[in-house]
Chain A
Amino acid sequence: MAWDKKDLLGLEYLSAEEILTVLDTARAFSEVSTRAIKKVPALRGKTVVNLFYEASTRTRASFELAEKRLSADIINMNVSTSSVTKGETLLDTVRNLCAYKIDVIVIRHAMSGAPIYLARNIECSVVNAGDGMHEHPTQALLDIYTLREKLGDLRGRRIVIVGDIAHSRVARSNIWGLTKLGAQVTVVGPSTLIPREIEQMGVRVQHNLDEALRDADAVNMLRIQREREKLTLFPSLREYAILFGLNRTRMQGLPDKLIVMHPGPINRGVELSGSVADGPNSVILEQVTNSLAVRMAVLFLVTGGTSLHPEHMSA
């Protein structure tokens, strides 16, 4: 197994081999959640802090459950951004936590690069649970895990990512991970939401969803938010749904086997219609299930787990 990193900061910083190591480790852990007693001792005696500077229900629940199933001791800290601006600095907060001899900090932060800044300054492991518009590596790993379950080897597969690419950390992490594994990635969205020079990250840009999906193997529909900027970058959610939403009518002209993903939470009727979200092409709930195994694998690897021994996995 190829893993010697203390942190998971982004997929940009991983090799294809390292990504596959996480996915293989996740496959081994996936079985734990099917047991009657859903717990293994792999992280027994380790302390994990979930430090969330941004509201998040699903990512936090998923991390927390993954930690519990690995038998870690955990602390949850939700810091509202308003108290941060007046209070102590991020580094001071974290240095205080480190004084308790913790092992892992799982951090969600509104500012791009915050986990990288932390990892440079502290000893314990840092897992990026989403930083600003930069990366959300565990989300992309679980997306890729789900895709590989369905498609096998991703080399040459055509994956389309639709939505607000400019502000999306999910998009960036998926682009790095998928391109490293040899997939062909196309990003689709309103031209105001496609950031400049993104082609240099190895993707194609399209603005016509039907054309982009014609020969696609899978599509990842990102959550759209209109109130991101002072500037309005597109006219209305209604117009967005017409141009970039996936609904039953649009699905009719598309490949039968098209895999539909969404990182959640879904704006039903905007980027996805209910019928597509709950339809036969959707793997959205499988993504949620897979998130546990993937996050267990990440926590196991960053805390120095090199290979899975039976004692890690005993009940």
Chain B
Amino acid sequence: MTTVIRNGYLMDPARQLDGHGWVHIKDTQIAGVGLGEPPAGLAADETIDARGLVVAPGFIDLHTHLREPGEESKETIESGSRAAVAGGFSTIVCMPNTKPPIDHASLVKFIHLEAQRVNLANVLPVGTVSRGREGKELADIGELVNAGVVAISDDGAPIMDSGLMRCALEYARMFGIPVMEHCEDLQLANLGVMNEGFYSTKLGLRGAPTVAEDVMVARNLLLAEYTGGRLHLCHLSTAGGVRMVRDAKARGVQVTCEVTPHHLVLTDAAVCDYDTNFKMNPPLRAEADRLALIEGINDGTIDAIATDHAPHSSTSKDVEFDQAANGVVGWVDCSKEEAASWCARRTSPWRA
């Protein structure tokens, strides 16, 4: 069985493909790819005309919440994989803040088995930094790595204990895996439910200032520099964070970072009538922050766009703003074309 896809717009930054072209598929393998018309004499059992469509390799989402085990009413490994594939993502990295948290090798095995059974997307589990995700002592990170975690993270909450964060970076260095950190100083965030600024003032909602994130970005960069550990900053949302990561990279600190689609296209103005769909953590920020994130993508400071796909049931969103859960769905409204255009803009300069 051979197939040719032609007339589509090819986008593959890894192979530096960006233009109209063709893809040749033999059985389940890509046999050839190229720009322009397919070579004369390329025979195929089936031809797909992709005129007006984008053709791209499966995307990788390196920050998702699949909720299983524990909160299967919100999402499962199966429903999450299905949504991911429908949105064009063939590999997804899932965060360990499930119930129970993924702090033990047996739970990693469970995710692998379930993902194999579902057999849709590649599911790469992240293990917790701390036992029980309690932020007190290290989880059995070596065993987690042996079981197949690709990183460790207590995402959903920051690691407030700087001593523990230092240990995590130092210990994880042995295994060559990054510590993925959710940067938020909880005291400075002061239970804020949206970005602190004009809109929180106007709406009378408790504000979480950008500096609550920046203080932790700064701490984590300093600890990564000191320990030589690999740091990955999740869902960067502030202009200050982008600036500090840029400086740290210039100094050779081993840091990578990601930004979410919603922080690239929305600002805290979206909250203006208490719409709980725009309640998330980190919160949507001001326009200056949004523009700084776009600049960070253009100059390579920001390494990836990741959805932080965090589904909630409607009962936890259809309530008063203060009581609503944080988080947005990353994939349902993310069509292949939209996703492809995100990636396209990663290689060609963004416009604000």
Q: B-contacting residues of A (Cβ < 8 Å)?
A: 12, 89-91, 109, 111-114, 116-117, 131-135, 166, 169, 172, 195-198, 200-201, 229-231
Contact A135 B321 (CB under 8 A): no
Contact B198 A117 (CB under 8 A): no
Contact B197 A132 (CB under 8 A): no
Contact A91 B205 (CB under 8 A): no
Contact B198 A112 (CB under 8 A): no
Knowing A112-B274, A196-B196, say if A117 contacts B201 (CB, 8 Å): no
Knowing A112-B274, A116-B273, A116-B274, say if A196 contacts B201 (CB, 8 Å): yes
Contact B201 A201 (CB under 8 A): yes
| Chain B interface main SS type | loop
Q: B204 interface residue, CB < 8 Å from A?
A: yes
Complex: A134 Cα to B205 Cα, angstroms = 7
Q: B307 interface residue, CB < 8 Å from A?
A: no
CB distance from A73 to the nearest CB of B (A): 28
Contact of B203 among A89, A113, A200 (CB under 8 A): A113
Contact of B207 among A109, A111, A196, A231 (CB under 8 A): A196
Q: What are 19 A-to-B residue pairs whose CB atoms are below 8 Å?
A: A90-B319, A90-B320, A111-B320, A111-B321, A111-B322, A112-B204, A112-B321, A113-B321, A117-B274, A132-B322, A135-B204, A196-B196, A196-B197, A196-B198, A196-B201, A197-B201, A198-B201, A200-B198, A200-B202
Contact B320 A117 (CB under 8 A): yes
Residues in A neighbouring B202, C-beta threshold 8 A:
12, 172, 200-201
Q: B116 interface residue, CB < 8 Å from A?
A: no
CB distance from B343 to the nearest CB of A (A): 35
What 20 additional pairs, Cβ within 8 angstroms, besides A109-B320, A112-B322?
A: A90-B319, A111-B322, A112-B204, A113-B203, A113-B274, A117-B274, A132-B204, A132-B322, A133-B206, A135-B204, A166-B201, A169-B204, A172-B202, A195-B201, A196-B198, A196-B207, A197-B198, A197-B201, A201-B202, A230-B190
Residues in A neighbouring B320, C-beta threshold 8 A:
90, 109, 111, 113-114, 117
CB distance from B320 to the nearest CB of A (A): 4
Contact A91 B319 (CB under 8 A): yes
Contact A117 B321 (CB under 8 A): yes
Q: B97 interface residue, CB < 8 Å from A?
A: no
Q: B200 interface residue, CB < 8 Å from A?
A: yes
Q: B79 interface residue, CB < 8 Å from A?
A: no
Contact B196 A172 (CB under 8 A): no
Q: B323 interface residue, CB < 8 Å from A?
A: yes
Residues in B neighbouring A134, C-beta threshold 8 A:
203-205
Q: B318 interface residue, CB < 8 Å from A?
A: yes
Residues in B neighbouring A169, C-beta threshold 8 A:
204
Knowing A131-B204, A133-B205, say if A231 contacts B274 (CB, 8 Å): no
- Interface hits, B261-299 → A, CB 8 Å: 273-274
Residues in B neighbouring A196, C-beta threshold 8 A:
196-198, 200-201, 207
CB distance from A104 to the nearest CB of B (A): 20
Contact A89 B201 (CB under 8 A): no
Complex: A89 Cα to B317 Cα, angstroms = 12
CB distance from A199 to the nearest CB of B (A): 9
Complex: A231 Cα to B188 Cα, angstroms = 10
Instruction: Give the most central of B198, B201, B319, B320: most A CB within 10 Å.
Output: B320
Residues in A neighbouring B198, C-beta threshold 8 A:
196-197, 200
Residues in A neighbouring B323, C-beta threshold 8 A:
111
Contact of A112 among B196, B197, B205 (CB under 8 A): B205
Residues in B neighbouring A131, C-beta threshold 8 A:
204
Complex: A109 Cα to B206 Cα, angstroms = 15
Instruction: Give the most central of A90, A111, A172: most B CB within 10 Å.
Output: A111
Top 5 A-B residue pairs of the complex, sorted by shortest distance between their CB atoms: A133-B204, A134-B204, A113-B274, A197-B198, A112-B204
Residues in A neighbouring B206, C-beta threshold 8 A:
133
- Interface hits, B79-121 → A, CB 8 Å: none
Complex: A236 Cα to B305 Cα, angstroms = 48
Contact of B318 among A91, A111, A116 (CB under 8 A): A91
Complex: A131 Cα to B320 Cα, angstroms = 11
CB distance from A154 to the nearest CB of B (A): 22
Contact A112 B203 (CB under 8 A): yes
Contact with A along B194-238 (1 / 0, CB 8 A): 001110111111110000000000000000000000000000000
CB distance from B328 to the nearest CB of A (A): 18
Residues in A neighbouring B200, C-beta threshold 8 A:
195-196
Complex: A231 Cα to B190 Cα, angstroms = 9
- Interface hits, B303-352 → A, CB 8 Å: 318-323
**Nearest neighbor of B323 in chain A, beta-carbon distance:** A111
Complex: A83 Cα to B197 Cα, angstroms = 32
Residues in A neighbouring B204, C-beta threshold 8 A:
112-113, 131-135, 169, 172
Complex: A131 Cα to B274 Cα, angstroms = 12
**Nearest neighbor of B198 in chain A, beta-carbon distance:** A197
Residues in A neighbouring B197, C-beta threshold 8 A:
196-197
Residues in B neighbouring A132, C-beta threshold 8 A:
204-205, 322
CB distance from A309 to the nearest CB of B (A): 35
CB distance from A71 to the nearest CB of B (A): 33
**Nearest neighbor of A120 in chain B, beta-carbon distance:** B273
Residues in B neighbouring A201, C-beta threshold 8 A:
201-202
Complex: A230 Cα to B187 Cα, angstroms = 10
Complex: A109 Cα to B274 Cα, angstroms = 15
Complex: A89 Cα to B315 Cα, angstroms = 10
CB distance from A189 to the nearest CB of B (A): 13
Residues in A neighbouring B201, C-beta threshold 8 A:
166, 195-198, 200-201
Complex: A172 Cα to B205 Cα, angstroms = 12
Complex: A111 Cα to B207 Cα, angstroms = 14
Complex: A197 Cα to B286 Cα, angstroms = 12
Residues in B neighbouring A200, C-beta threshold 8 A:
198, 201-202
**Nearest neighbor of A167 in chain B, beta-carbon distance:** B204
**Nearest neighbor of B190 in chain A, beta-carbon distance:** A231
CB distance from B316 to the nearest CB of A (A): 11
Residues in B neighbouring A231, C-beta threshold 8 A:
190
CB distance from B193 to the nearest CB of A (A): 9
